């Protein structure tokens, strides 16, 4: 039957003629258009020189550990409940004895002002606004006291690498305690630096060296260089200056002789909560729990140390089963969405940390970019919880997630 046609009336056209006012702020327009962390990643890559972007993006050797960690989050099935009242969803909880507004915080990242000139100040102030913890790395590029000033009333955590120079290491711990940092993250998976091949191929050094390649790569990224050259020279939370590659710096500083006895000694020195970061098997988790640490973070360092390392998300259920009643279990590595965070909490993680996801936001737009990254993850977390039929983190349980098998050990 032939369709009847008519001329549209002005009343029909009026709703279609309401145009959205253009956003004149280019940064806001850019960030508003980013709907996922991967969108922020694409913006970051366009705006950041290759060596700095690759330092964030890259992992060790063939980067298998990182790829497997991300794949593990994709290889799940959510099992939702229906006909629940999820009109109001609560994403807050108590972590290490104090409240957090969301089930994730900002992980410690090194050389952060190299990624974008606002660096840790952007991360700490964004964390304060969101009600989540901010972690400062030993290899951070902002002083402990300056991070405290940027996040005066929020939760600041300090991440410690134990150096060969023990007095220098503990001087940092004393400064963090004096500044009111409430948690010490002791990273234990770096006896030596991993083989980060992208950095070697890029000649990534501290400070960055100008070569013909870096100049050519900088031409379409003038804002990064203007910011880098017109702000305070790069300095570190833990050392004054260094001339050489990142790997050489790490190998000079890090101590391959650190043992459980050293950890016990550190625990006696620190007045706040202590979390051990870099745990990669059940037996080590049990030993740490028996020592009375407040938390452990299952992590393979974002794939940046041992390639083909265990997948933290796969370890999570077994570790929670063994130590979760006595010790908080946290998780990082591979998290790129709020759905990843919800899956981790459902399988027993008390808390998660985001590293690259935060840095992509920072590189994409400074403080506003970090706000956008946090906002994206918060929105995805809330939406995933609603779709699962839960209204609080406490209602998430292992039955909400099925881990699908891809890599099965051979007998």
Distance CA 60, CA 249 (A): 16
Residue 255 lies in a domain: yes
Output the pLDDT for position 23.
73
Distance CA 376, CA 36 (A): 6
CB neighbour burial string for 163-180, b if at least 16 within 10 angstroms, e if fewer = beeeeebbebbebbbebe
Which CA distances in Å does 129 have to 113, 153, 371?
A: 20, 10, 8
Active site residue 314: no
Output the pLDDT for position 2.
78
Residue 6 lies in a domain: no
DSSP 201: H
Overall number of domains in the chain: 1
Confidence of residue 331 (pLDDT cuts 50, 70, 90): very high
Per-residue pLDDT tens over the stretch 236-257: 666 655 555 555 666 667 788 8
Containing domain of residue 365, as a range?
A: 29-403
**Of 112, 201, 131, nearest in space to 371 by CA:** 131
Residue 224 lies in a domain: yes
Residue 16 lies in a domain: no
Confidence of residue 338 (pLDDT cuts 50, 70, 90): very high
Residue 149 burial (C-beta neighbours within 10 Å; 0-12, 13-18, 19+): middle
Residue 329 lies in a domain: yes
Residue 362 lies in a domain: yes
Candidate list 301, 314, 330, 400, residue with the active-site label? 301
Q: Quick check: 360 pLDDT over 90? A: yes
Residue 20 lies in a domain: no
Structure tokens at 249: 């710096």
- Of 298 and 218, the one with more pLDDT: 298
Residue 409 lies in a domain: no
Tell me the average pLDDT across 197-225: 74
Per-residue pLDDT tens over the stretch 254-267: 788 888 998 999 99
- Look over the chain and give the mean of its residue pLDDT values, rounded to a whole number: 90
CATH number of the domain residue 383 falls in: 3.20.20.70
């Amino acid at each position: 039957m032939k369709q009847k046609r008519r001329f549209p009336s002005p009343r029909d056209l009026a709703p279609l003629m309401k145009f959205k006012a253009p956003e004149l702020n280019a940064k806001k327009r850019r960030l508003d258009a980013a709907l996922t962390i991967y969108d922020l990643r694409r913006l970051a890559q366009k705006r950041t020189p290759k060596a700095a972007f690759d330092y964030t993006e890259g992992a060790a050797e063939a980067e298998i550990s990182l790829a497997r960690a991300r794949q593990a989050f994709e290889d799940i099935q959510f099992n939702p409940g229906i006909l629940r009242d999820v009109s109001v969803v609560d994403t807050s909880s108590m972590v290490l004895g104090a409240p957090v507004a969301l089930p994730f915080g900002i992980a410690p990242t090194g050389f952060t002002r190299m990624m974008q000139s606002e660096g840790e100040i952007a991360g700490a102030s964004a964390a304060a606004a969101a009600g989540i913890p901010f972690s400062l790395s030993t290899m951070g590029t902002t002083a402990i006291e300056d991070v405290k000033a940027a996040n005066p009333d929020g939760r600041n955590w300090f991440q410690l690498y134990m150096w060969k120079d023990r007095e220098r290491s503990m001087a940092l711990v004393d400064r963090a305690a004096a500044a009111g940092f409430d948690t010490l993250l002791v990273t234990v998976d770096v006896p030596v630096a991993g083989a980060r091949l992208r950095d070697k191929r890029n000649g990534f050094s501290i400070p960055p060296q100008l070569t013909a390649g870096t100049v050519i790569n900088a031409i379409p990224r003038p804002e990064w260089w203007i910011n880098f050259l017109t702000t305070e020279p790069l300095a570190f939370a833990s050392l004054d200056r260094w001339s050489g590659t990142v790997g050489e710096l790490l190998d000079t500083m890090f101590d391959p002789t650190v043992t459980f006895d050293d950890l016990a000694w550190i625990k006696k020195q620190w007045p706040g909560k202590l979390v051990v970061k870099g745990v990669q098997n059940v037996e080590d988790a049990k030993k740490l729990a028996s020592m009375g640490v407040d938390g452990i973070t299952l992590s393979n360092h974002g794939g940046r140390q041992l390639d083909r390392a265990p997948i933290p998300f796969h370890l999570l259920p077994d570790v929670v089963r063994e130590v979760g009643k006595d010790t908080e279990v946290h998780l990082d590595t591979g998290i790129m969405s709020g759905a990843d965070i919800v899956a981790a909490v459902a399988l027993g993680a008390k808390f998660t940390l985001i590293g690259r996801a935060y840095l992509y936001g920072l590189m994409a737009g400074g403080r506003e970019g970090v706000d956008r990254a946090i906002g994206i993850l918060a929105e995805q977390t809330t939406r995933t919880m609603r779709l699962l039929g839960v209204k609080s983190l406490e209602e998430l349980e292992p039955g909400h997630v099925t881990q699908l098998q891809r890599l099965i050990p051979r007998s």
